[in-house]
Amino acid sequence: MTWSNPADAAAAVCMLTGAVLCLLAGIGLLRLPDVLSRMHAGTKPQTFGLLLILLGAGLRLPGGTDMGMVLLAGLFQLLTVPVAAHMVGRAAYRSGRMDREHLVVDELGQASRRPSSGPG
Amino acid sequence: MSVVIALLLASGALVTVRLARGPSMLDRAVALDALVAVVMAGIGVLTAVRQIPYFLPALLVLSFLGFTGSVSIARFLALRDEAGSEDADEGESTQVPGEGGGRGRRNPGTNEQGSGG
């Protein structure tokens, strides 16, 4: 990989940024106190870092079908990570695995206390 | 590129520490999702460095595998290893709509917690 080609240089910058974001996700996952904040660290920087690395890989690949498969992997990641994080956060809320002192607003508890408007 | 590989290895090591240490099953679910994402990033870096596209279907497989593992842990295992929180769980689940498909399957867990408490 040489720096003379601008696509290669852009791919290198993308992959370096993505790897730094993955490292930040690992540090946040290790240091943050409870499940919800760890989930905050483990989903958003991780997904963005992975998308940057996939963008770098797509810049390096010559063929169109390979680029399509990279795009498909990124699209599936964007679709599945929020759903999984939603399930994990809901299970964390319902099993009481979280610090209630760190909550600013508890919309799920307020919505479940009002029977007229249940949580969607 | 060795810098990128070193950063990814460090991230994977930190995530693995959380995966081994995590106090509840949900921490492990989050860490497992992050570890799968780190492996996907490693496959992406390998693809970019060697310019071979043969590992790209593994990206799709790993994406769905991480999703399935995280969702199944959150859905079926996480409510089972919490010993003292069955009241909050049952009080919530009677009012939450859209959960009717899995409530019968979670009954062994709640029975086990009810007999314990």
pLDDT tens track for B90-101: 434 444 444 444
Q: Which residues contact A13 (CB under 8 A, 6 or more apart)?
A: A56
Contacts of A95 in chain B (CB under 8 A): 24, 26, 78-79, 82, 85, 88-89
A112 contacts A119 by C-beta, under 8 angstroms:
yes
Q: What is the pLDDT, as a whole number, of residue A114?
A: 65
**pLDDT greater than 80 at residue B84:** no
pTM of the entire structure?
A: 0.76
Give the percent of chain A with pLDDT over 70.
88
Q: Domain locations in chain A?
A: 6-113
Domain count, chain B: 1
Give the percent of chain B with pLDDT over 90.
24
Q: Which residues contact A96 (CB under 8 A, 6 or more apart)?
A: B82, B85, B88
pLDDT in tens, A48-69: 999 999 999 988 887 778 888 8
**A102 to chain B, closest Cα gap in Å:** 17
Q: Of residues A98 and A19, which shows the higher confidence score?
A: A19
Produce one character per residue of B34-63: b if its CB has 16 or more CB atoms within 10 Å, e if not: bbbbbbbbbbbbbbbbeeebeebebbbebb
**A29 to chain B, closest Cα gap in Å:** 7
**pLDDT greater than 90 at residue A120:** no
Q: What is the pLDDT, as a whole number, of residue B80?
A: 64
**pLDDT averaged over every residue in chain B:** 73
Closest alpha carbon to B12 in A81, A84, A23 = A23
pLDDT in tens, A13-55: 999 999 999 999 999 988 888 888 888 888 888 999 999 999 9
The rounded distance, in Å, linking the Cα atoms of B28 and B33 is 8
Tokens of A60: 């390096």
Mean pLDDT (whole number) for B51-62: 88
Q: Where are the alpha helices (DSSP H) in chain A?
A: 6-31, 35-60, 64-94, 107-113
Query: Chain A window 28-57: which residues touch B at a Cβ cutoff of 8 Å?
Result: 29-30, 35, 38-39, 42-43, 46-47, 49-50, 53-54, 56-57
Q: Which domain holds residue B24?
A: 2-116
Q: What is the pLDDT, as a whole number, of residue B101?
A: 42
